Homo-oligomer: A and B are copies of this chain.
Amino acid sequence: MQLGLSVSDSDVSSFTPLVVLELADDTKAEAITWLLNRIRDKQQNGGAELLVNQLLFPAQDDQKPNPNVFLVGSTLQRLLNGAEDVGLFKEFQDGTMRGFTYANRESFKDFNGDGEGVLSDAECQYIIKHELDTLRAKNEEHVPGYPKLKLYPGKSVVRRLQSKGVLIQYFPLHNKEDLKRLSFSWYKKFKLSFQPLDDIRHYFGEGLALYFGFLEYFTFALVPMALIGIPYYLFDWEDYDKYVLFAVFNLVWSTVFLEVWKRCSATLAYGWGTLSRKKAFEEPRAGFHGALGFNPVTGREEPVYPSSKRQLRIYLVSVPFVLLCLYLSFYVMMVYFDMEFWAINIYNENPDIATSILLFVPSIIYAVVIEIMNLLYRFAAEFLTDWENHRLESSFQNHLVLKVLVFNFVNCFASLFYIAFVMQDMVLLRQSLATLLITSQILNQVMEAFLPYWLQRRRNKKVHKRMRRLMGDKELPLLGQVQLETEMNTYLGTFDDYLEQFLLFGYVSLFSCVYPLAAVLVVLNNITEVYSDAFKMCHVFKRPFSEPATNIGVWQLAFETMSIIAVVTNCALIGLSPQMKAYFPESDTQLILIVVTIEHVLLAFKFILAFVIPDVPKHIQVNLAKLEFDSLEALKKRIIEIWKDMTMKENN
């Protein structure tokens, strides 16, 4: 709440702009007036009661940009009320986290004066987003000026404007001072330190802070594997069968660290007040469409789309499409193997430096192709999932994640599985693994940070030039900042970042007993990843709205599934090792039985471990129980009071 900027406007007293709304430049004037009135209107009248102003351009600007850009802010009191409305949890005087209420506001720890400092920047913007999203149509039948933009009582105005492209985007503004401070403590000092998770959360919200927390935790968790892997690599390159111990260590370790992460994330989420927060009722997605009907939960009028139709779309179109893509992926894999054999043949005929370099070419090409296929598939999956017409954003996300995960898993690891278990060529496996891992890391860093950075710099230069022309050499004011941020790319959420970590985890764990150096490579990658991710959040993308996340959600499940598959693959690899076979020279049967038994024991051990380690640390459990107990006691007191009232009335 210490944004340094303020809108100077003659009509309204100045306020700190927090959120930018951009409407299409051909939006009809009556629609704009209506929307601004609804946003400014009192809550009693169903308005959002926020402050909003148009961004004014200097008259001499010849290169007409979109004039329909609006800045939204709010009074402090409105924000504090909104905090109660969205159900924020804040630290109470006694150190526990409690649901913030306006009535008790002075009993919260950071409350002083008028209430500055209780709400973080990201929270203020989240509250404004929530109030805008829940601004509902009253009796309007359509958006003024747009007879085709039908409305019905209770429909979210913003969602409707968004779905038809009248509202192009709305996003929170960066706070230059805070950003400077954050980026300094985050990635500009070159000493080793933990990431400033609380500051990240303060600025970007819980969802992103949890991602960076996980990234850091995961990297630290890989350090022991990496340290043990180095001597294996240095001294025993060809004796991969000595990696049995290493594999067992990896399996146990990956289970433990995933379990412990749940506790860490619960601790973080508790401290940030999201753990005990109740989920608000979810609005339909902006893109959701259907015949008008009644929502069975709210009883309100809203579009209804029969889930049977959605099921048909999923099973008759999406599933066959995914299977087709998987088939394609297999086909590409077989082409890669042809290339591989061709390269080996050339090398065998004429072994020199040129041909030995040629040996790596097929793997590198294949790795690039994999990345391109992943990218194309990603677009297709998004299109399909959108077409499935899910009512809720969460259900959309789950279906998207499932589609993408299955394909990426197969696409990235199919060749490795084929080499390991069909061809049983461990040398090739090791070489393929290394090439795939390194190539995909390099590609990823380029695609996700450097390329957008380069594009952004070009745009920045253009805006700066124009601003200098308009304003002379003064420091870039609000106008320029808004212009700049409006054109920045939108950060699409943590999905791709988690996906990348998930695939890296696969490279480390699935074939760990063949290539112990994988952990080292991933640790090195993640150290640069922290910096490039931090940089891209601060300077390449628009500031995202904060998401009040409690945990890493479906990714926890994905990582756990991967670690279960890893048990199976590692046991199988150990069973295939010649050294193990040497112990049982007469019969394979005994060897297989022993390996299968060990596998079952390891799997059982994993499940027991997951069951035994509590997901939430003891002291947080106690605090949550305390909260529950207090609210029960309050309820009981209220009952006794009603009871007293009643008996008093009866006696009179």
Contact = CB atoms under 8 A, between A and B. Distances in A.
Contacts of A632: 278, 280-281
A642 interface: yes
Contacts of A622: 296-297
A139 interface: no
A118 B556 CA distance: 45
Interface in A65-112: 81, 84-85, 102-103
Given A280-B632, A281-B628, A600-B568, A642 B298 contact: no
A85 to B, nearest CB: 6
A297 B619 CA distance: 10
B44 A640 contact: yes
24 contacts: A43-B640, A43-B643, A44-B644, A81-B639, A81-B643, A85-B636, A85-B639, A102-B643, A102-B646, A103-B642, A278-B632, A280-B632, A281-B628, A281-B629, A281-B632, A296-B626, A297-B622, A297-B625, A297-B629, A298-B629, A589-B589, A589-B592, A592-B593, A596-B596
A116 interface: no
B639 A102 contact: yes
Contacts of A85: 636, 639
Secondary structure call for the A interface:
helix
A635 to B, nearest CB: 8
A588 interface: yes
Contacts of A588: 587-589
- Copy number in this complex? 2
Given A281-B629, A298-B629, A587-B588, 10 more contacts: A43-B643, A44-B640, A81-B643, A102-B643, A278-B628, A297-B625, A297-B629, A589-B589, A589-B592, A592-B593
A353 B650 CA distance: 85
A25 to B, nearest CB: 36
Interface in A567-599: 568, 587-589, 592-593, 596
A318 to B, nearest CB: 15
A267 to B, nearest CB: 17
Interface string A606-649: 00000000000000001001101100100010011011101000
Contacts of A636: 85
A554 to B, nearest CB: 12
A194 B72 CA distance: 63
Contacts of A103: 642
Interface in A259-290: 278, 280-281
A592 B590 CA distance: 10
State the 8 A-B residue pairs at the shortest beta-carbon distance, nearest first. Answer: A588-B589, A297-B625, A297-B626, A296-B622, A281-B629, A592-B592, A297-B629, A596-B596
Contacts of A81: 639, 643
Contacts of A296: 622, 626
A84 B622 CA distance: 26
A254 B640 CA distance: 49
A277 to B, nearest CB: 12
